[in-house]
Amino acid sequence: MSLPFTAPLAAHEHAAYADAAAMVAALRPEQPVYCIRPHVLREAARHFVETFPGKVLYAVKCNAEPAFLDALHDGGIRHFDTASLPEISVVAERFADTASYFMHPVKQRGGIRAAYRQHGVRHFVVDHADELAKVLAETGGATDLVIVVRLATARGAAVYDLGGKFGASPVQAAALLRQAHGAGCEVGLSFHVGSQCLTPGSYTAALRLAAHTLDLAEVPLSVIDVGGGFPVAYVGLHPPPLEDYVAAIEAGLAGMGLPAECELWCEPGRALVAAGASLVVRVELRRANFLYINDGVYGSLSDLKYAGLRFPMRVLRPVGDRVEVLEEDLGEFGLFGPTCDAADMMEGPYRLAADVREGDYIEIGQAGAYTLELRTDFNGFCPTASWRSATVPSCRRPGWSRSRSHS
């Protein structure tokens, strides 16, 4: 099932259907509907946990909806990369057998206190001396902490560059490691090569920088965290398999001389949840080769505009009491979202059935990552009471195989 982003569980409309077409046939929804595939989420979690040779921390920021968290937990996820007290709380309230790690490099003081005292969080990321002092002060100078220092790394072939805002230089990171170790804490080192990283070698290069930092710090390391960035397939993007990334990480670790007790972590988000949902939107108007749809940049589709990712799409057309799936005779279209802002546009071009028209629906695949989390209610669209969801427990993944169906 999929849920609106703020309303309580009891208020959601949700049901199970064989696939998105069956949902459209039954509901003819006026508002966007998420179609969640719990089996895909469980499979992705299981594969990652079995393949990665260390702890797998799911990045909750990617999708914090309970239905997603439950499926990932069922697939074996027991560790969570959390960036705020609400994320820590939702994990703690839902699961008794999990651990959260406060991975945001800049935290509110009250959040640090509550995470430490109420939720038993002991792992905190820092990248600045003032943040380290803040964590030590708000935990009462605790010595049962693991302070993980975030290292700035060069951008690889990533869709999103996460450098610039966070990360310390090797010299700065080494000083932080020494300072935290001197305060009686265990220490770790982390980095992030960028979201949707397409080059496994980026991890090897980052680990070389980490090795240099450790040479400068000369302190024992308890954790090495290679962060997130693990990619998934979109239209026109065919990343290497997870096994190639693991091999690159192991190659980078080989020369570091880490102690046997040093833990290896990673923080996947998109890689675990993207394929676990599709989004069904409705065409409200066609103007030449532009389609006005009922979701957009201020709703679930900011990745289409700002990341430039091409999601698999296909047209679902109600015909009487059935729904036709149209994947042939394609044309090129741009999309407008429902708000009055001209920036609410996704240029594409997106290849859809050439005769797509008002009243048709478009199923957008790979919609499990950074869609529900980034929605707003700008202009009054995306009202919580009108969002619906469906579980599609057994249909195929929403990454349709016919390449000619998509740009």
**Helix, coil or strand: residue 367:** coil
Output the average pLDDT for the chain. Answer: 89
Residue 3, domain member (yes or no) = no
**Predicted local distance difference test score (pLDDT) of residue 194:** 87
Give the structural domain span for 178.
38-273
169: nearest Cα among 153, 180, 186: 153
155 pLDDT above the threshold of 80: no
Residue 158, domain member (yes or no) = yes
- How many residues are listed for the chain in this entry? 407
**Predicted local distance difference test score (pLDDT) of residue 305:** 84
C-alpha distances in angstroms, 126 versus 65, 78, 117, 155?
Answer: 27, 23, 19, 20
Residue 393, domain member (yes or no) = yes
Distance (Å, whole) CA 209 – CA 218: 14
Q: Can you give the pTM of this predicted structure?
A: 0.91
208-236: per-residue pLDDT in tens? Answer: 999 999 999 999 999 999 999 999 999 98
147 pLDDT above the threshold of 70: yes
**Predicted local distance difference test score (pLDDT) of residue 392:** 75
**Is 109 in the same domain as 215?**
yes
2 pLDDT above the threshold of 50: no
Q: Say which residue the tokens 């949840």 belong to.
A: 273
378: nearest Cα among 345, 338, 346: 338
17-42: per-residue pLDDT in tens? Answer: 999 999 999 999 999 999 999 999 99
**Predicted local distance difference test score (pLDDT) of residue 118:** 96
End position of a domain, from candidates 241, 273, 305: 273
Residue 295, domain member (yes or no) = yes
The tokens describing 203, both together, are: 């991890």
12 pLDDT above the threshold of 50: no
**Is 374 in the same domain as 356?**
yes
Residue 293, domain member (yes or no) = yes
C-alpha distances in angstroms, 310 versus 260, 323, 378?
Answer: 42, 24, 24
Mean pLDDT of 321-349: 94
Residue 137, domain member (yes or no) = yes
CATH at 377: 2.40.37.10
Residue 45, domain member (yes or no) = yes
Q: How many domains does the chain have?
A: 2
**Predicted local distance difference test score (pLDDT) of residue 403:** 27
**Percent share of the chain, pLDDT over 70:** 89
11 pLDDT above the threshold of 90: no
CATH at 138: 3.20.20.10
